[in-house]
Chain A
C-alpha cells in the first residue's frame, strides 16, 4: 500500500528533478524509485489488509500482480532511450513521471476493493497512456493513434461506468466484498433485471481495455502509431492491469452469476484467439504483428477466467510474467533495429529490416529469437509453461472445444513468430554492428535469462504465486 503513496511522490519529485538534471540521471533515479516501491510492495506480503476506508485491499495475489507491473515498468524505463529528437521541446522527466503515475493507476486496478478505486485507477492509467501515445507531437501517425486511443478509451469508460451504476442500483453498494456477498446470498430471480445488463457492461468495458475481439479494432492502429517504447508499456502494463481487474471482478464477485457471462466470455475468448492469430499471419510490420499477438494472448488469458480452479490465479500470474518478459525483449530489439534502419529503409518496422541481424549482432538476434520462441510457446521457454498451465487448468474443468481451438491457434502462432526468427537468421541482409547502451544491454539479457530460467524451472515462481 505504501508503494502507491511512494510512487506518487516519486512521480512528483521526478517532475521537479527534470529542471536540474539530464535524462540519464533521471532514468537511473526512476529505476531506483521503482526498486524502492517494489520493496515496499513486498513488505505487505502475507498481511491481507484493507486500506483507505476499506477501499483498497492488499492480498498476495494483488501484490504479485503489482510486482509484475512494476517489473515491467522497470524494464520499460531501462529500455527508454532519447524520446523523439532531444530538442528543447522534449521533457524526459515528464515521461518518466507519467510512467510512474500510470504504474500507480495500474496498482490501484489490481488491488481495488471499491468501484471508485477501480475507476480512478483505470483513468489514471488511461489518461497517462493517451499522453504517452501522442507524445511524438510532430508525427501524424502518433497523433492519429492518440486520438483513436483517447476516443475509444473514454467511450469504453462510459460503458464501464454505466455498468458500475447499474450494479450499484441493484446491490446498493460499491464495495466489491459487499456486492459479492449480496450476489451470492440473493436469488438471481429476485434481482432487478438491469443488474445483468450492468454486469455485462462492466465486462465489455474491461474487455475493450484488454483488447479482446470484437473490441480490438483500435489496438493495431494505436500500437503501431505510438512510439515503440510506449507500445511496450501498453502491451505489458495496461494489459496485465486490465486483465487482473477483469479476472478479480468476473471470477470473484460475479462468480455466482456464472450463467450470465460464461457463454459471452467463451465466445469472445475464441473469437479473440481466431482474429488475433489469423490477422497476425498477414502482417508485414513487426510492430503490428506484436499488436495482434498481444490480442491473441488476451484470448488465452480470457480462456482461464471461467475456470474456477485454485491454481488459476497462479497460472494467470505465471502467464502474465512470461508474456511480459518476452514482449519487452521483442519491443526492445525492435526499437534498436528500427532506429538503425529508419535512415536506410522506408518502413523500418517491417520484417525485412530484421534480415541478416544475426551476422553482426548475434546477441540481439539471440534475445529476439528467444522472446519469439517464448511468445510462440516452444518448450524450454517461459511461454511454454504459461500456455501449459492455462490449458491444463481449463481442460480440467471439462471445457474441451475452446482448449482445442486454442491449441490449434497457438500452432498458427508458431508460423508468424518464426517468420521473425527466419528473417534474423536465414535471410541475407546488411546490418552493421548496432551500438547498444550498457543499461539497455543488461536489461535485455536479464529478461532473456528470466525467460529461460522460468522455462527450465517453472516451479521457481509457480510455488510463490
Chain B
C-alpha cells in the first residue's frame, strides 16, 4: 500500500504547477471581468485555493510539513478576510440595495 505522499509524487510536479497556475489565472480573470462583488470575492478565494493546492503539492514532494502549515495560516486568515469582506458587502447592500461594483463610482471625478 502506498502512502499518500507517494501517490502524490507519481504525478510530475510540473502538472501541479500547471494546474495551480491555471486556477490562479481563472481567479485573476474572474476578478477583472465580473461586476458582482460576491463573485469577485469568490474569484479571489479561487486564487488563494490555487496557492493552497500548490503549497500542499510542494510540501509533499519535499516531505516538508512547513508548506502545509502555511496552508493552515492562509485558510485561517482567509476566514478573517471573509468575515470583514462580507460585512463590507452587507453594509453596501443595506445602503444601495445592490452589490454591483459598477454602481459604485461616487469617487471618480
Q: Does A130 interact with chain B (Cβ within 8 Å)?
A: yes
Choose among A127, A138, A221 the residue that contacts B107 (Cβ–Cβ < 8 A): A221
A145-B88 Cα distance, complex, nearest whole Å: 10
Task: Output the least CB separation between B3 and chain A (Å).
Answer: 20
CB pair A134–B81 under 8 Å, yes or no, is no
Q: Which residues of B contact A146 (CB under 8 A)?
A: 88, 91
Interface size on B, residues (CB 8 A): 43
User: Contacts A131-B84, A147-B92 given: A158-B37 contact, CB under 8 Å?
Assistant: no
Q: B82's closest neighbor in chain A, by CB? A: A154
A225 at the interface (CB under 8 A from B): yes
The 8 A CB mask of B33-56 against A (1 = contact, 0 = none) is 000010011001001101100110
How far is B73's CA from A95's CA once the two chains are assembled, in angstroms? 25
Instruction: List B contacts of A194 (CB < 8 A).
Output: 17
Q: Are B77 and A120 in contact (CB under 8 A)?
A: yes
Measured between beta carbons, the chain A residues less than 8 angstroms from B58 are 165, 168-169, 172
Question: What string of 1s and 0s marks CB contacts (under 8 Å) between A130-156 and chain B?
Answer: 110010011011011111101100110
Contact B77 A151 (CB under 8 A): no
Q: Does A215 contact B (CB under 8 A)?
A: no
Contact of A261 with B by CB under 8 A: no
* Additional A-B contacts beyond A194-B17, A221-B108 (19; CB < 8 A): A115-B70, A119-B70, A123-B77, A127-B77, A127-B80, A127-B84, A131-B84, A140-B95, A140-B104, A141-B107, A143-B88, A144-B92, A145-B107, A148-B104, A154-B44, A155-B47, A158-B48, A172-B58, A225-B107
Q: Counting CB contacts under 8 A, is A6 at the interface? A: no
Q: Given A130-B84, A137-B91, A144-B107, A151 and B101 touching (CB < 8 A)? A: yes
Q: Mark A116-127, 1 if CB is under 8 A from B, else 0.
A: 100110010001
Q: List 5 A-B contacts (CB under 8 A).
A: A115-B70, A119-B73, A143-B88, A155-B44, A221-B108
Which of B64, B81, B95 sits near A127, CB closer than 8 Å?
Answer: B81
CB distance from B13 to the nearest CB of A (A): 8
In the assembled complex, the CB of B23 is this many whole angstroms from the nearest CB of chain A, namely: 10
Also in contact, A174 and B92, with CB within 8 A (given A154-B85, A162-B51, A165-B55): no
Q: Which of A119, A127, A147, A154 contacts B101 (CB 8 A)?
A: A147
| CB atoms of B64 and A172 under 8 A apart | yes
How many chain A residues touch B (CB < 8 A): the figure is 39
Interface residue? A355 (CB, 8 A): no
Q: Does A393 contact B (CB under 8 A)?
A: no
Chain A contacts of B96 at CB under 8 A? 140
Partner of B88, one of A150, A157, A168, A172: A150
Asked whether, in the complex, the Cβ of A123 is within 8 Å of the Cβ of B107, the reply is: no
Query: Chain B binding site: helix, strand, loop or mixed by DSSP?
Result: helix
Of chain B, the residue at the smallest CB distance from A221 is B107
| A257 in the interface (beta carbon within 8 A) | no
Residues of B within 8 A of A224 (CB): 107
Contact B95 A143 (CB under 8 A): yes
> A31 in the interface, Cβ–Cβ < 8 Å?
no
A198-244: which have CB < 8 Å to B? 220-221, 224-225
**Which residue of chain B is the closest to A117 with respect to CB atoms?**
B73
The chain B residue with its CB closest to the CB of A158 is: B47
Given the interface contacts A137-B91, A158-B51, A194-B17, does A147 sit within 8 Å of B80 by beta carbon?
Answer: no
Contacts of A144 in B (CB 8 A): 92, 104-107
| Distance A138 CA – B92 CA, assembled complex (angstroms) | 9
Chain A residue at minimum C-beta to C-beta distance from B59 = A168
Q: A161 at interface (Cβ–Cβ under 8 A)?
A: yes
- In angstroms, Cα B32 to Cα A155, docked, is 10
When A123-B77, A169-B58 are in contact, do A143 and B92 touch as well, CB less than 8 Å?
yes
Within 8 A of B (CB), among A288-347: none
What per-residue 1/0 map shows which CB atoms of B73-97 lie under 8 Å from chain A?
A: 1100100110011001101100110
Chain B proximity of A242: nearest CB distance (Å):
17
